[in-house]
Amino acid sequence: MLKHLLLHPEISAVLARAGHHARILIADGNYPASTKKGPHAQLVSLNLMPGVVTCAQALRAVLSAIPIDAVNTMMYTADDPYALSADPPVWDEYRQVLRECDSPLGLEPIEKWKFYEAVETPDHVLTIQTADQQRYANILLSVGVRMS
């Protein structure tokens, strides 16, 4: 029996094969997961019903299993129908999860269209599609190095 929080066998298998700099996308329920992904990426759907599972829940599980070097969020826009004028509330949830997992990392926003480009690289190995309904909840993780 595994001791960390992550129990999903397919996600665990992908993470076990992922090396340094591999990218894991935790996508919200609105992300176009079937078309915006890297050529080697596997898609795991955890979107049971609206709001279940959330990106923050998936983040907590992933952080319990692997080291992370960077945490990128999709920067919100100020000029489209989904515009925001301040950080989305979900980003505070991510900061809380990072603190609870003793991670020194902060959120590093990437402009929306650059975020899509970052996901479409060969280093993208996994998309975890959630049913999170919050705007700009997508989060891109870069796998770190195990030090012990």
Q: Which pLDDT value is given to residue 147?
A: 87
**From 3.30.460.80, 3.40.1650.10, 1.10.3720.10, 3.80.10.10, which CATH number describes the 9-143 domain?**
3.40.1650.10
Q: Note the pTM of the prediction, 2 decimals.
A: 0.96
**Can you give the pLDDT at residue 1?**
63
User: b/e for 117-142, b at 16 or more Cβ within 10 A?
Assistant: ebbeeebbbbbbbbbbebbbbbbbbb
pLDDT (tens digit, 0 to 9) for every residue of the chain, 148 residues total?
Answer: 678 999 999 999 999 999 999 999 999 999 999 999 999 999 999 999 999 999 999 999 999 999 999 999 999 998 889 899 999 999 999 999 999 999 999 999 999 999 999 999 999 999 999 999 999 999 999 999 998 7
pLDDT at res. 79: 87
Pairing mode of beta strands 23-27, 139-143 = antiparallel
Q: Where are the domains of the chain?
A: 9-143
